[in-house]
Amino acid sequence: MKSQWFKIISTLYLIFIASSISAIQIDSLHNLLENKLSSEGFNKEQDVIEYLNLTSKLFQESPTDALFYVNALEEKLESEKNDTGRAYILSKKGTFFWLQGVYDASLKAYFEALNIFEQEENKIEVVKTLNNIGETYKKQKDYTQSARFIKLALSKINNLEDLSPELILVNLGQLFMLKGNYDSANYYLNQIQNKDSVSKQSKGFTYLYKGIVKRESSQYDSAQYFLRQSLIYWEELNYGRGITESKIEIARIYISQNNYLEANKSLKEAENIALKINALDLLLRIYQSKIDLFKLTGGKDSLVFYFDKYLQIKDSIFNSESRAEINKLSIQYNLAQKEKERFKLALQQSELSNKIEKRTQFLIFLITLLIFAFVLIFYLRNKSIQLKRAHIRLKQQKEEIEDKQKSISSKSLALARVNKELHSLNKNLEQRVMERTQKLNERNRQIAEFTFYNSHKLRAPVASVLGLINVMELAKDGKIDPILLNHLKTSSMELDKVIFNLKNLLDLDD
């Protein structure tokens, strides 16, 4: 008993933890989308694609919120007259509407996206959109239009190396299988089967549809083989819906072969998986097959039991038109509610923005005032420093002037003394000039007298001596005349006297 309660509590706790983590992840996606929507400019297609990928993650938990954010991005770009990534937005809307069963809205979005992709010559997206349109018509059971668009996608993909045609071939095989045109179905499915590089998912669908075609053609052994092969791929991919569909088809083969035990076993396995993945449409097929089984075996209680279950499931599933309309109204209502919430949030944000703006303006004013005060204080401080420096310079200049005044005063005194000396010198100058003039006159007289002695007194004895010498040279006998000698002596004495007088004259000058 305790262990059972422990298991129950543990399970509830794990469910609570899982739901909490899921709620946190959803809130995180909401916040991330809101931030991108409000902050980013979406000037590149890659920005739009990344945003749309986030909405795809959100769609798994909240389809309405995901569609709301796609519409919000579309409105934002329209208001900004920005066409960047518009085709991808429309394509994503079409996919979300398709998954919700709103096929008319899905077709409208897909056709608008197709038109833009064709204008942009985006060949890969054109092929994908044509295939999506064909699949949408298939859901509406308009097989003619579905075949038209899927074949058109196939014709365009042949010119593209970057895109594999396997998915389109699978879709065409399924389409002709649903129409009952089994030869055409086999034609397209065999193309996939014969390819080497095909994904496991495409292989799984190929073997599933070929198995159904073989079963409808009463080729039960071949049908069993293809359906078993599909199960191998579904189990490798852990794809519950594929496993369920393959087991339902295997059970129907067993019913056709009257192997009721294996049929019931296969249906029971399919029912468990369908309940686990909550696939109501598959449960409806399972219960229909069980009703057919127990009609043949005669198990009335089981027949009534599964007939009641079949009715319960059928009552919970509306026909496609009613479901689409309800989904459409539900989405419109949810979008309107979201729009109201967004408008309310926008008003709150506007009020908050106004408050922030006012506070910002006040802060800007306060900051400006502080900056002005700081600048004024800085200016006054610099001015004060400049005045102090000017005062110091003036003080220094004053001291220098005083020093210069003292120097000038001392120089003035010195000049006064010099002037006094000059004055006294000036007074004695005339006397000294007169004395000097007298000396110069006396000197000039002595020079004149010297010149006279030189030219007259000194010249006469010298001339006499020279004349006597010439007479002596003219004597023929070589004897000296005493008279001449006497005259020579006299002239020499005169010359000596003149030289003595000249010497006295020079001594006087000194």
Same domain, 319 and 369: no
Same domain, 359 and 327: no
Residue of 122 and 431 predicted with greater confidence: 122
> From CA 311, how far away is CA 89, in angstroms rounded?
40
Residue 333 has pLDDT above 60, yes or no: no
**Torsional sign, CA 14, 17, 23, 24:** negative
Same domain, 333 and 373: no
Residue 232 in domain: no
pLDDT at residue number 272: 93
In this structure, of 101-115, 155-169, 192-206, the range with the lowest mean pLDDT score is: 155-169
- pLDDT winner (highest mean) among 148-152, 318-322, 377-381: 148-152
Closest CA to 174 of 224, 139, 220: 139
Residue 307 in domain: yes
Residue 127 has pLDDT above 70, yes or no: yes
Q: Counting Cβ atoms within 10 Å, is residue 317 exposed (0-12), middle (13-18) or buried (19+)?
A: middle
Same domain, 395 and 319: no
pLDDT at residue number 482: 73
Closest CA to 178 of 202, 142, 203, 204: 142
Name the residue range of residue 395's domain.
353-407
Residue 164 has pLDDT above 90, yes or no: no
Mean pLDDT over residues 319-323, rounded? Answer: 47
Mean pLDDT over residues 291-315, rounded? Answer: 83
**Cα–Cα separations (whole angstroms), residue 76 to 29, 105, 149, 153, 331:** 19, 21, 32, 32, 20
> From CA 302, how far away is CA 286, in angstroms rounded?
14
pLDDT at residue number 483: 77
pLDDT at residue number 509: 53
Residue of 45 and 159 predicted with greater confidence: 45
Radius of gyration over every alpha carbon of the chain, rounded to an integer in angstroms: 67
pLDDT at residue number 16: 44
71: left (phi over 0), alpha (psi -120 to 50) or beta: alpha
pLDDT at residue number 22: 47
> From CA 499, how far away is CA 506, in angstroms rounded?
10
In this structure, of 136-145, 176-185, 320-329, 475-484, the range with the lowest mean pLDDT score is: 320-329
pLDDT at residue number 2: 47
Same domain, 363 and 325: no
Residue 316 has pLDDT above 70, yes or no: no
202: number of Cβ within 10 Å? 18
- Map tokens 């007074």 to a residue: 427
Mean pLDDT over residues 409-431, rounded? Answer: 77
The secondary structure of residue 163, as a DSSP letter, is S
Same domain, 260 and 321: yes
- Map tokens 């019913």 to a residue: 255
Residue 79 has pLDDT above 80, yes or no: yes
> What proportion of the chain, given as a percentage, has pLDDT over 90?
18
Structure tokens at 63: 């389809």
Residue 360 in domain: yes
Among the candidates 407, 428, 445, a domain finishes at 407
> From CA 67, how far away is CA 333, in angstroms rounded?
12
Residue of 142 and 281 predicted with greater confidence: 142
Residue 229 in domain: no
- pLDDT winner (highest mean) among 102-111, 194-203, 428-437: 102-111
**Cα–Cα separations (whole angstroms), residue 66 to 5, 18, 106, 113:** 39, 21, 15, 18
Same domain, 331 and 270: yes
pLDDT at residue number 429: 73
Same domain, 465 and 388: no
Residue 368 in domain: yes
- How many helices (H) and strands (E) in the chain? 18, 0
Residue 232 has pLDDT above 90, yes or no: yes
Query: How do residues 26-45 score in pLDDT, each as one tens digit?
Result: 567 778 888 877 776 778 88
The overall average pLDDT reported for the chain is 79
What is the DSSP track for 271-323? Answer: HHHHHHHT-HHHHHHHHHHHHHHHHHHT-HHHHHHHHHHHHHHHHHS--HHHH
**Torsional sign, CA 502, 508, 509, 510:** positive
Same domain, 250 and 331: yes
Write the CB contacts of 495 (distance below 8 Å, at least 6 apart in sequence).
458, 461, 462, 465
What is the DSSP track for 31-63? Answer: HHHHHHHHH----SHHHHHHHHHHHHHHHTT-H
The secondary structure of residue 455, as a DSSP letter, is I
State the total domains in the chain: 3
pLDDT at residue number 320: 44
Residue 330 has pLDDT above 80, yes or no: no
> What proportion of the chain, given as a percentage, has pLDDT over 70?
80
265: number of Cβ within 10 Å? 15
- pLDDT winner (highest mean) among 162-166, 185-189, 351-355, 469-473: 185-189
In this structure, of 33-37, 206-210, 241-245, 247-251, the range with the lowest mean pLDDT score is: 33-37
Residue 335 in domain: yes
Residue 109 in domain: no
Query: How do residues 8-32 score in pLDDT, each as one tens digit?
Result: 555 544 444 444 444 455 567 778 8
Mean pLDDT over residues 226-233, rounded? Answer: 93
pLDDT at residue number 6: 52
CATH code (residue 310): 1.25.40.10
Mean pLDDT over residues 44-70, rounded? Answer: 84
Mean pLDDT over residues 172-186, rounded? Answer: 89
Same domain, 246 and 295: yes
Same domain, 336 and 243: yes
CB 106 within 8 A of CB 137: no
pLDDT at residue number 18: 42
The secondary structure of residue 161, as a DSSP letter, is S
What is the DSSP track for 361-421? Answer: HHHHHHHHHHHHHHHHHHHHHHHHHHHHHHHHHHHHHHHHHHHHHHHHHHHHHHHHHHHHH
Residue of 473 and 144 predicted with greater confidence: 144
First to last CA, the chain: 163
Q: Note the helical H segments in 453-481.
A: 459-474
Mean pLDDT over residues 281-307, rounded? Answer: 86
Helix, strand, coil percentages in the chain from 3-state DSSP, rounded to 5: 90, 0, 10
pLDDT at residue number 326: 47
CB 208 within 8 A of CB 230: yes
Residue 318 in domain: yes
